[in-house]
């Protein structure tokens, strides 16, 4: 659950300026802070309920199994008044068996009638809610978040990079709530198969719990944090006492068939718009747990019909609009494949390129009585993904996918009187609008230096079998890069950098269109350093970034850095990039109040 931003005062220097500053004295900061800059790490010790009658998830914390552990309380306010006692206190219990983790919350509220019981969709986080974060990887960077509101609305997020919450992760788990004279209660059952952890006999996980008290817009934490902590997952407390559980190796095979029937207003003479449409789809999804850390996902002709539709959007500047990934196959472990390029959404890997809308065009001529049926998406013949993170700190991801060639159907108007009135009548045919394409992505990253540093790399390949009138597409595209980050002084200070390269190949027309696209604009009059060459058949480019600064602890934050993209850098075959040929330097100083 992301928190509202603390009030900040920022001073942004001009792009070419350089900020010279010495790290401020930590002792001086401590003199002015009203709260500690570091809290002792809390530990919760759980116990097994394997020999009990079990727990029913109904919101009533009345089973004898809950009595094998004590309540843990003493939540401390984090927002708005860090380090103070919350308006209402919260208690938590955690137990487990060989298949599930169980969590109970008692959220006190003096006047239960003031509990905000708003309804909402999944991940809306309405009204009063309570949350548990589990760092089962115990890597100080990643975690799993489970939230339940007083009204029973569930929320779940995957946490990456020590504080980035991703709501597209939707695991299977169970929860219920009840309101009584003391406030409200919640029970959660989280299957261990939805978590990722090592095979040690005695587990040590990161643990945090947050409660939102809606009436005062308060956030209180089980593991207290100072104002402006240097991270989120790295500051978790610990969950101990889980012993003897075996990693839950998943084996899920889901064959499916989907029948779709649409109705719409008929268009006279158009056989593709005759008032109704019927479609039958057959496919299979599979998930195989190689280990509890690493998962193999397979899909054949995947069904994405149940995925939420993208919101309507219009691009006023001509640049492509970024839409987040929602398809379950690609959402699983998507953080492993993440490789951002500079700021914003630009990324070496953008999974929505796979199964995209066909890029081709047809020669349909309405003046000859021709009508067309153009496919809305490219068929994914099959895809496989091997991904996860090992207990040794290795993040591994490999994805392979093949998409089918797609054809637009061109037919004649069925109104014979209409055709008789034409000077020339076309002919029925099919025209290819998307080639057979192979996509590959490989990603690896390694934590070291007691989880304070990492280094990694990525490589992607896109290869198309071009046919017909598709010579305007690039035949092949290869991208790659390396990235690193180093934290020191209890993660107060950091340095991070990335390097990216690309190579694209195709016909003279394909490379000319690449040079003149909105991403590159080699033909613009103010670009003396580039030249449009219509005879080229390949482009190669690079990009990079570096930043160093202070990101946590105390009241001050600062950084200085820069990034660049060469004119020929091209990522859009399997990545997302709005604009190449950029060079940026920046510096930033902030003073925070809370």
Task: Calculate mean pLDDT across residues 335-357.
Answer: 90
Note the pLDDT of residue 418.
Answer: 85
Q: Which helix (H) or strand (E) holds 437?
A: strand 436-448
Phi, psi of 24 (to 5 degrees): -70, 160
Q: How many CB atoms lie within 10 A of CB 135?
A: 25
Assign 266 a pLDDT band (cuts: 50, 70, 90): confident
Separation between Cα atoms, residue 229 and residue 159, nearest integer Å: 16
Other beta carbons less than 10 A from residue 482's beta carbon = 15
**What tens digit of pLDDT does each residue of 405-430 get?**
999 999 999 888 888 888 898 999 99
| Contact between 389 and 445 (Cβ < 8 Å) | no
Helix (H, G, I), strand (E, B) or coil at 392: coil
Q: Is the pLDDT of residue 181 over 90?
A: yes
Contact 239, 206 (CB under 8 A): yes
Kind plus residue range of the DSSP H or E element containing 145: strand 143-149
> Strand 90-96 to strand 237-243: parallel, antiparallel, or no bridges (unpaired)?
unpaired
CB 162 within 8 A of CB 233: yes
Question: Does the structure show a pLDDT above 60 at 267?
Answer: yes
Kindly state the average pLDDT of the residues 11-16: 36
On whether the CB atoms of residues 472 and 433 are closer than 8 A, the answer is no
Determine the Cα–Cα distance for residues 509 and 408; give it in Å rounded to an integer.
22
3-class DSSP assignment, residue 114: helix
Element (H, E) at 416: helix 416-420
Measured in residues, the chain has a length of 594
Residue 502 backbone dihedrals phi, psi, to 5 degrees:
-150, 155
pLDDT at 316: 66
* pLDDT band at 312; cut points 50, 70, 90: low
User: Closest Cα partner for 519 from 564, 569, 471?
Assistant: 569
Neighbours of 199 (CB within 10 A): 12
The mean pLDDT of 32-37, rounded to a whole number, is 54
Contact 486, 452 (CB under 8 A): yes
Q: Please, what is the average pLDDT of the chain?
A: 88
Q: What is the mean pLDDT of residues 576-588?
A: 94
Element (H, E) at 300: strand 294-300
What pLDDT, on the 0 to 100 scale, is given for residue 311?
A: 59
Give 380's pLDDT tier (boundaries 50, 70, 90): very high
Taking the alpha carbons of 348, 350, 353, 359 in that order, is the dihedral positive or negative?
negative
How much of the chain, in percent, has pLDDT values that exceed 70? 90
Query: Buried b vs exposed e over 408-434: b needs ≥16 C-beta within 10 Å?
Result: bbbbbbeeeeeeeeeeeebeeeebbbb
Q: Are 463 and 438 in contact (CB under 8 A)?
A: yes
- Per-residue pLDDT of 83-135, as tens digits, reads 999 999 999 999 999 999 999 999 999 999 999 999 998 888 889 999 999 99
> Strands, E, within 304-435: which ranges?
370-373, 380-389, 394-403, 406-412, 429-434
Q: What is the mean pLDDT of residues 26-51?
A: 72
Q: Which of 267-276, 320-329, 488-497 has the lowest mean pLDDT?
A: 320-329
Residue of 590, 428, 548, 571 lying closest to 500 (CA atoms): 571
- Strand 43-45 relative to strand 237-243, pairing: parallel
Encoded tokens for 271: 């056989």
pLDDT at 582 (0 to 100): 92
Neighbours of 367 (CB within 10 A): 9
DSSP string, 182-237: TEEEEEEEEEGGGS-----SEEEEEEEEEEEEGGGTEEEESS---SS-S-SGGG-E
* 305, pLDDT greater than 70: no
The token duo for 409 is 């159907």
How far does Cα 232 stand from its chain's mean position? 17
Separation of CA 344 from chain center? 13
> Quick one: 27 exposed, middle or buried, by C-beta within 10 A (0-12, 13-18, 19+)?
exposed
**pLDDT value, residue 474:** 97
CATH code, 37-243 = 2.60.40.1190
Of residues 544 and 193, the one with the higher pLDDT is: 544
pTM: 0.76
Rg, Å, the chain Cα set: 28
Distance of CA 287 to the CA centre of its chain: 19
Residue intervals of the chain classified under CATH 2.60.40.1190 are 37-243
Given strand 406-412, what is the order of strands in its sheet? 370-373, 406-412, 429-434
pLDDT greater than 70 at residue 309: no
């Amino acid at each position: 659950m992301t928190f509202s931003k603390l009030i900040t005062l920022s001073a942004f220097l001009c792009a070419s300026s350089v900020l010279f500053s010495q790290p401020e004295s930590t002792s001086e900061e401590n003199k002015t802070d009203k709260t500690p800059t570091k809290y002792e790490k809390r530990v919760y010790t759980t116990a097994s309920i394997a020999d009990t009658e079990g727990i029913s998830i109904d919101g009533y914390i009345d089973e004898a199994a809950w009595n094998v552990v004590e309540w843990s309380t003493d939540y401390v306010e984090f927002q708005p008044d860090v380090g103070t006692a919350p308006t209402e206190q919260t208690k938590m219990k955690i137990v487990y068996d060989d298949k599930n983790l169980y969590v109970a919350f008692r959220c006190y509220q003096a006047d239960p009638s003031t509990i905000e019981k708003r309804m909402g969709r999944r991940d809306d986080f309405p009204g009063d809610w309570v949350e548990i974060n589990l760092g089962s990887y115990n890597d100080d960077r990643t975690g799993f978040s489970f939230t339940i509101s007083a009204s029973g609305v569930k929320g779940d997020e995957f946490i990456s990079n020590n504080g980035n919450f991703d709501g597209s992760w939707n695991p299977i788990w169970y929860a219920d709530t009840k309101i009584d004279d003391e406030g409200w209660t919640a029970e959660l059952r989280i299957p261990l198969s939805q978590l990722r952890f090592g095979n040690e006999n005695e587990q040590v996980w990161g643990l945090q719990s947050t409660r939102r008290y809606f009436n005062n817009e308060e956030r209180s934490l089980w593991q207290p944090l100072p104002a402006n902590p240097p991270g989120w997952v790295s500051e978790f407390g610990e969950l101990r006492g889980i012993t003897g559980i075996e990693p839950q190796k998943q084996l899920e095979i889901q064959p499916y068939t989907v029948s779709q029937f649409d109705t719409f207003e008929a268009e006279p003479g158009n056989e593709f718009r005759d008032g109704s449409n019927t479609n039958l789809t057959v496919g299979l999804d599979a998930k195989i747990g190689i280990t509890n850390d690493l998962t193999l996902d397979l899909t054949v002709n995947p069904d994405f019909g149940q995925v939420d539709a993208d919101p309507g959007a219009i691009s006023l500047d001509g640049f492509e609009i970024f839409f987040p990934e929602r398809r379950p196959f690609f959402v699983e472990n998507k953080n492993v494949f993440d490789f951002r390029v500079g700021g914003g959404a630009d990324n070496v890997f953008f999974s929505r390129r796979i199964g995209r809308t066909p890029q081709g065009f047809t020669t349909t001529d309405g003046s000859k009585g021709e009508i067309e049926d153009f496919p809305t998406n490219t068929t994914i013949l099959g895809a496989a993904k091997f991904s996860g993170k090992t207990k040794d700190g290795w993040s591994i991801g490999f994805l392979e996918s093949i998409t089918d060639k797609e054809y637009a159907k061109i037919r004649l108007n069925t109104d014979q009187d209409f055709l008789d009135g034409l000077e020339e009548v076309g002919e029925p045919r099919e025209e290819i609008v998307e080639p057979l394409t192979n996509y590959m992505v490989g990603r690896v990253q390694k934590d070291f230096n007691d989880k304070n540093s990492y280094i990694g790399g990525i490589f992607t390949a896109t290869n198309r079998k071009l046919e017909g009138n598709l010579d305007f597409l690039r035949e092949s595209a290869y991208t790659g890069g390396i990235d690193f980050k180093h934290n020191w002084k209890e993660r107060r200070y950091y340095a991070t950098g990335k390097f990216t390269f690309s190579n694209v190949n195709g016909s003279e027309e394909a490379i000319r269109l690449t040079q003149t696209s909105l991403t590159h604009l080699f033909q613009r009059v103010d670009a003396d350093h580039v030249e449009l060459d219509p005879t080229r058949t390949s482009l190669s480019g690079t990009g990079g970034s570096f930043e160093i600064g202070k990101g946590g602890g105390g009241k001050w934050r600062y950084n200085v850095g820069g990034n660049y993209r060469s004119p020929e850098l091209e990522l859009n075959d399997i990545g997302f990039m709005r604009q190449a040929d950029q060079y940026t330097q920046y510096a930033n100083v902030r003073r925070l109040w809370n």
